[in-house]
Amino acid sequence: MREYIENLRKELHQHNYRYYILNQPTLTDKEFDDKLRELQDLESGYPEFYDPNSPTQRVGSDSTGSFEQAVHTYPMLSLGNTYSFEEVGDFYQRLLKSLQEPFELVCELKYDGTSISLIYENGVLVRAVTRGDGVKGDVVTANVKTIRSIPLQLQGDSYPDSFEIRGEILMPWDVFDQLNKTREEQEEPLFANPRNAGSGTLKLQNSSEVASRRLDSYLYSVLGEELGFQTHYESLMQARSWGFKVSDAIRVCSTLDEVYEFIQYWDVERKRLPVATDGIVIKVNSFEQREELGYTAKSPRWAIAYKYQAEKALTRLLSVSFQVGRTGAVTPVANLEPVLLSGTIVKRASLHNADIIETLDLHIGDSVYVEKGGEIIPKITAVATEFRNPEGEKVRFITECPECGATLIRNENEAAHYCPDEWNCPPQIRGKIEHFVSRKAMNIDGLGSETVQLLYANGLLKSVADIYSLKVATLSSLERLGVKSAQNICNSIQQSKEISFERLIFALGIRYVGETVAKKLASAFRTIDDLERASFEELIEVDEIGERIATSVISYFATPANKQLVESLKQSGLQMSLNDSSPEALSSVLEGKSVVISGSFTHHSRDEYKKMIEQHGGKNVGSVSSKTSFILAGEKIGPEKLKKAAALGIEMVTEEEFLRMIGQSLPSTPPIMGTLF
């Protein structure tokens, strides 16, 4: 039994890691809760096998180590989950037995997002901390300040001098859909659901990127000393008056039947909401009664969560097709007998990769369970093997490209298979062209997917370089393209020659180089020739450029066909260097110096210091190496950077020393806290 318990702990630890750290859950919430409950029962029955580090003794963590950590004044505990009216009834009966007096329950929607703690002092937001492990979390104040539904300054004057409010950070469905559409166009992995997308966004180092994703919030718990509230509902209504976004989906219930009515109503109506929900939270309204009920080690005794079952349907697998994308990645797609699921007809579901197919042990004709739940992307979760036709052919991942016949490859530590013949595989060629002309790249109007396919089929576009050889007369002779359309396309092609250097780098379609990375590369190397000559060591010194991206950039420019393409684009007159007008040069005192910034600062923000370094001829780099000239060191410098700097003998320059170095006097304005690595 000991071995079984230890194996179950290991399994749950792994699922916790995949859920909170990787944001790649492989179990449903109910499956995880069932396993956790089994472990709790076993530990109760076998106390001799107690382990202080068991998953039952802690709350899962979403901390990444990339942010400053802060301890919660009040631990952020989790709620016990229920999945049936019977379990809700049991909770109600426990309250009756414990309190032995009338009580009210407050029912609220359980928003499926990222838990956040907001600290306000004198009506001003001073700190935002993620849930983390429940005891301490990551400080993400700069990112949270970009969320418009979270007030930076409270309204009125009735709020306490100091208090904490908790809630959920959410990514709305429409933002999620657009984000995944963009990622799909760039052949980046899709987010499984808005929760994962929102959590990942909140942990981005670039707060401007966070702002662009339009996160939202709902707040639901006010904490502090001597707040003066008697009930939870009263505290929420006050919080709303101070400017917080508090849900309208709240009901004070006096009976169990009223709780059931609320659950049943929102099981239907929640599907109309702009954000994801996965259940109902039921809380005792009276703070005095909460105090009497108390807590277990992991959760309050006065609250519980009712979780809706994920919607799923049983349908039949008709076939599996394989799609080839711009980067050569081959994606298997399940073609299904149409089935109604979460209000839409589902005909297809992504199978992601060969490992998923093998794990499911799929056969053509299988009855399969398709699920959405909180997932917007339909997925096959299981096979009803009891209905299997023994003559059904086992689904196997293909070994050759379905488009060009090349033998597929699978890189080490990657789940996807790729077609390596990128210069002769039609969907890869068309995909590269479509990416190059897209709005966020070279923004060439008129060359949509259908037009690109038409030009490719007629032999007019065999590569990106051919775009700049297109003529009005040739285009206007094609079906569906008149003289006016042809002229507009050619005008837009001509205008694309003025598109900035960083967008050109993005347009080239280098694997793993998205818009943000392209800007980093353009800023660091400034010309296409310098980028082409960049070594691995020089690349990884650039902020946010890791080994995978560096290797991909080097591989791109080492390929003769890519070198030829870049040369052709040069001859066509595209922008091959960064515009020197930004940032304005002030001196050359830091010329040739590579500077790493780490810690929190008093006089200026990190972004301001980065700009100063560039204005005085220096180069911002993200990691410490033997080529680092010095570290601009604030308070609480990152421990790994400190350790590596000491080993390499890198000079540490204080904020004041740096300002004197560039000839700037110390500011007399109130301090601004910078972001900590």
Which residues are the active-site residues?
A: 110
C-alpha to C-alpha distance for 107 and 188, rounded to whole angstroms: 39
CB atoms within 10 A of CB 411: 9
Distance of CA 339 to the CA centre of its chain: 30
Which stretch of DSSP H or E encloses residue 449?
helix 449-457
**DSSP codes of every residue in 369-434:** EEE-TT-SS-EEEEE-GGG--TTPPBP---SB-TTT-PBPB--TT---EE-S-TTT-HHHHHHHHH
Residues with Cβ within 8 Å of 575's Cβ and at least 6 positions away in sequence, in order, are 497, 498, 499, 500, 501, 504
Cα dihedral across residues 262, 268, 273, 278: positive or negative: positive
Instruction: Indicate the DSSP class of residue 483.
Output: H
Question: Six-digit token pair at 142?
Answer: 């700069």
Q: HEC profile for 284-310?
A: ECEHHHHHHHCECCCCECCEEEEECCC
Q: Which of 530, 520, 454, 528 is nearest to 486 (CA)?
A: 454
Q: In whole angstroms, what is the distance from residue 391 CA to residue 379 CA? A: 24
What residues contact residue 9 under an 8 Å CB cut-off, 6+ apart?
39, 51, 54, 55
CA proximity to 614, closest of 526, 545, 499: 526
Dist. CA 162–CA 172, nearest whole Å: 30
Question: Do the beta carbons of residue 20 and residue 60 sit within 8 Å?
Answer: yes
The two three-digit tokens of residue 151, written as one number: 């007030």
* CA 646 distance to own-chain centroid: 34
Angle between helices 2-20 and 29-45 (to 10 degrees): 150
d(CA 497, CA 576): 10
CB-side exposure of 439: number of CA atoms within 13 Å? 2
